[in-house]
Chain A
Amino acid sequence: MMVVLLVLPLLGTLFMLLWPKIAPLLALLTASVCSLAALQLLFLVSEQGNQQVLLAGWPSGLAISLEANSLSSLLILLTALLQLLVGLYAFATHRRDKLGAGFWPLSCMLQLGLTALWLSRDLFNLYVCLELLGIVAVALVSLSGDKAIKPALNYLLLSLFGSLCYLLGVAILYGAYGVLDITVLAARWQADLPSSIALLLMTLGLMLKAALWPLHGWLPAAHAAAPAPVSALLSALVVKGPLFILCLLWLQLAGATQVAAVAPWFAGCGLAALLLGGVSALRTPFAKNMVAYSTVAQLGYAMLALGLLLRFNQPLFAAALWLFVLAHALAKAACFLAIGEITATLGGKRINTLKGASQTMPLAMFAFAVAGGSLIGLPPSGGFLAKWALLQGLWLQGGQLFWLLAIVLATLLSAAYVFRAVVLAFDRADPVAPDFAPRILPQWLALLPALAVWAMALYSEPLLQLLKQEGL
C-alpha cells in the first residue's frame, strides 16, 4: 500500500511529462486513487497496527524503510485529499488564472515528496524528501510569473541553507553513531555535545524550512506571491513536513537534558510567532499576506504545543499539536482558495478588495469565515479541538496562567485578523464590483475543506484518542 502511494505520483508525473495535454486529468486521477489508497492504509493501520516496508528487499539498516503509523497515514490521507481538492480547484480556474502547465507534474511531485516524508523514519531519507519538497515548492511559487521570482528565489536560498544545516547535522550524527534510522539511533542516543550540536543544526534547518518564528521571513512573501492553489498547498502541507521531522527528532531522539533545555525556547518561539505573526496579519494591507502571516502565527501553536509537550510530557499536548496541524491544513487551504478566488474575481490584492464581498461572493466569503472560525478556535471546529486539548493540558498541569493568558491573547489576535476581513466583507456602503461574474464551483471547492474542518469536531473523540496515544 505504501509503495503504491509512492509509485503512483511518480508514475503520474512521468506520464504528465509525456502527455502534457491530459496532465490535469492524470493529476486528478492520481490524487483520487491515492486518496483511496491512503484511506485503505488508514484502515489497515488502525486494524493491524503499524506497518513497515523495507524497499527492494534489502535488510533493515541498509534498505530505505517506510513505516506507517496512524498519524502518518492520517497525514497521507490529508495530503491526498487536499491534492485532489486543490487539483479540482486548479482545474476549475486554470484557464482564468493562467496557471502554467508545470503545475500538474509539480503538484504530483509535491505529493510524492510529502508522502515519502510522512513515511520515512530515516534521517537521510528525510533529507532527500525535504530537499525535494523545497525545490518543488519553489518551482510552484515561481509559476505565477515574474512577480513571484524574487520571493521564490529567497525561499529557495533559505530553503537550501536550511537543508544544508540539516544535512550537516545528519552528517555529524552519522559520524557519531553510524546509523540513520531514527529508532535505532534513539536506542543508542547519548546526550553529549556533538549530538547536541547536530540536533540543534537540524532543528534550525527545519525551523527555517517550516518558517517557524523567527526564521519565518520568507514565508509571507512566497505564499502571497504564489497562485492560489499553490499557496493553499504550501501553507496547508509543505510547511508541515519539516515540522513533522522536528517532532520526530525531539520526541524520539533527544535526551532529557536536551529536551529540558530546548523546550522553553520552542514554547517561547511559538508564543512569539503567535503574537507577532498575529499582529503582522492584522496590520498587513494585502489579503493573501494576511493569510500567509496567519500561517506563521498558527505554526506558533504547533511550536508552542511541541514546547509544552517536551516540557511536561502530557499526552494532551501531543494531541493538540497534531490537531493543530490537521485543522490548520484544512482551514488554511480553504482560506487561501477563498481569498484567491475573491481577489481574482474582484481584481485586487489589497484587503480592501474584500469590501462588500459578502454580497458579491457570499460562498467564498462564507468559506473564509468558516475556515477563519477554525483558525480562531471557535467550537465546534478542528481548531477548537486543538485549543481545547491545549487548554486542558495546561489547566491539568496547573499554575500555567502565563501560557493560558498568552493563548487567549493569541486567539484574540487571530479573531481580530479574521474578522477584520469579514467585517470589510459586510460593507454595503462601498462594495467592490466584481470584474466578471463570480463562479460557483471554485467557491464551493473553497468551502469544502472549511466544512471538513468543522466536521472534524464530530469525530473529535477518536481523533483525540488516536493522536494522544500516538505522540510519535
Chain B
Amino acid sequence: MTDLSSQLLLYIGTAAGLFGIGLYGFIVGPQTLRRILALNIIGAGIFMLMVVLAYRGLAEEAALTLTDPVLHALILTGLVVAVSATAFALALLTRLNQAKSAQCKPDQLRHGQEPEQ
C-alpha cells in the first residue's frame, strides 16, 4: 500500500458514506420500497469504490493516470445486474401490493404501512 492521495481518500470516504447510509436504510426499513432504494444506494457506494479503485488498483505497477479496464467492465456488469435485480424487486413489490389491494386493505396501502413479513 502506497500513500493515498487525499482526493482518493475523499472518494473512498464518500463511497463508505453511501454504503453506510444504504445499510442504515436497509436495516431500519421498514417499507420494502425504502429497502430496495437502500440497496441501490449501497450498490452505488460499492460501484463508486470500484471506480476509485480502478485508479488505485494498478498503483504499484503503473502511473495513476492509467485506469484499470477490468474494473470498469466489472462495474458495468454489476450495474446491469443491479438494475435488473431492482426491476425484479419492484415488479414483485407491485404484485404484492396488487395482491394486498385484492384483499381490500386500501388504507394501509395508501400510507404504505406494510408490516414486516
Known contacts A174-B53, A174-B57, A174-B71, A168 near B92 by CB under 8 Å: no
Pair B81/A168 contact, Cβ less than 8 Å: no
Pair B85/A131 contact, Cβ less than 8 Å: yes
Pair A135/B77 contact, Cβ less than 8 Å: no
Known contacts A124-B74, A128-B77, A153-B96, A160 near B89 by CB under 8 Å: yes
Query: Which residues of chain A are within 8 angstroms of B42 by Cβ–Cβ distance?
Result: 161, 164
Q: Pick from B1, B58, B84, B96: contact of A150, CB below 8 A.
A: B96
Pair A138/B99 contact, Cβ less than 8 Å: no
B32 at the interface (CB under 8 A from A): yes
Known contacts A175-B57, A178-B57, A128 near B99 by CB under 8 Å: no
Q: Which of A157, A161, A164 has the most CB of B within 10 A?
A: A164
B21 at the interface (CB under 8 A from A): no
Known contacts A167-B78, A171-B53, A174-B53, A161 near B92 by CB under 8 Å: no
Whole-angstrom distance from the CB of B4 to the nearest CB of chain A?
11
Q: Using CB atoms, name the residue of chain A closest to B52.
A: A175
Q: Using CB atoms, name the residue of chain A closest to B22.
A: A164
A430 at the interface (CB under 8 A from B): no
Query: Which residues of chain A are within 8 angstroms of B36 by Cβ–Cβ distance?
Result: 157
The CA-CA distance from A221 to B117 in the complex, in Å, is 10
Pair B53/A157 contact, Cβ less than 8 Å: no
Q: Using CB atoms, name the residue of chain B closest to A168.
A: B46
Q: Using CB atoms, name the residue of chain A closest to B23.
A: A161
A154 at the interface (CB under 8 A from B): yes
Whole-angstrom distance from the CB of B68 to the nearest CB of chain A?
7
Interface residues of B in 1-53 (CB under 8 A from A): 1, 19, 26, 32, 35-36, 39, 42-43, 46, 49-50, 53
The CA-CA distance from A160 to B46 in the complex, in Å, is 13
Known contacts A157-B32, A175-B53, A164 near B39 by CB under 8 Å: yes
The CA-CA distance from A174 to B73 in the complex, in Å, is 13
A200 at the interface (CB under 8 A from B): no
B93 at the interface (CB under 8 A from A): yes
Known contacts A168-B46, A174-B71, A175-B56, A161 near B77 by CB under 8 Å: no
Main secondary structure of the interface of A (DSSP, over half): helix
A149 at the interface (CB under 8 A from B): yes
Pair A149/B84 contact, Cβ less than 8 Å: no
Query: Which residues of chain A are within 8 angstroms of B1 by Cβ–Cβ distance?
Result: 176
Query: Which residues of chain B are within 8 angstroms of A176 by Cβ–Cβ distance?
Result: 1
B95 at the interface (CB under 8 A from A): yes
Known contacts A135-B85, A157-B89, A161-B39, A124 near B46 by CB under 8 Å: no
Number of B residues with CB within 8 Å of any CB on chain A: 34
A142 at the interface (CB under 8 A from B): yes
The CA-CA distance from A176 to B12 in the complex, in Å, is 14
Main secondary structure of the interface of B (DSSP, over half): helix
The CA-CA distance from A157 to B70 in the complex, in Å, is 28
Give the interface size bracket for A toward B.
20 to 34
Pair A168/B32 contact, Cβ less than 8 Å: no
The CA-CA distance from A163 to B84 in the complex, in Å, is 13
Q: Using CB atoms, name the residue of chain A closest to B56.
A: A175
Known contacts A154-B117, A171-B50, A174-B71, A160 near B85 by CB under 8 Å: yes
Pair B92/A156 contact, Cβ less than 8 Å: yes
Whole-angstrom distance from the CB of B42 to the nearest CB of chain A?
5
Query: Which residues of chain B are within 8 angstroms of A172 by Cβ–Cβ distance?
Result: 49
Pair A171/B49 contact, Cβ less than 8 Å: yes
Pair A149/B99 contact, Cβ less than 8 Å: yes
Whole-angstrom distance from the CB of B59 to the nearest CB of chain A?
9
Pair A149/B43 contact, Cβ less than 8 Å: no
Whole-angstrom distance from the CB of A106 to the nearest CB of chain B?
12
Query: Which residues of chain A are within 8 angstroms of B35 by Cβ–Cβ distance?
Result: 157
Interface residues of B in 86-117 (CB under 8 A from A): 88-89, 92-93, 95-96, 99, 102, 117
Query: Which residues of chain B are within 8 angstroms of A62 by Cβ–Cβ distance?
Result: 70
Q: Using CB atoms, name the residue of chain B closest to A151.
A: B117
The CA-CA distance from A171 to B12 in the complex, in Å, is 12
Q: Pick from A149, A157, A168: contact of B95, CB below 8 A.
A: A149
Top 6 nearest A-B pairs (CB, nearest first) are A175-B53, A146-B99, A149-B96, A171-B50, A131-B81, A164-B42
Q: A156-B89, A157-B35 are in contact. List 10 more A-B contacts (CB 8 A).
A: A138-B88, A146-B99, A153-B92, A157-B26, A157-B32, A161-B42, A164-B39, A174-B71, A175-B57, A221-B117
Between A and B, 26 residue pairs with Cβ closer than 8 Å are A124-B77, A127-B78, A135-B85, A135-B88, A142-B92, A146-B99, A146-B102, A153-B96, A154-B117, A160-B39, A160-B85, A160-B89, A161-B26, A163-B81, A163-B85, A164-B42, A164-B43, A164-B46, A167-B43, A168-B46, A168-B49, A171-B50, A174-B50, A174-B57, A175-B49, A176-B1
Chain B interface (Cβ < 8 Å from any Cβ of A):
1, 19, 26, 32, 35-36, 39, 42-43, 46, 49-50, 53, 56-58, 68, 70-71, 74, 77-78, 81, 84-85, 88-89, 92-93, 95-96, 99, 102, 117
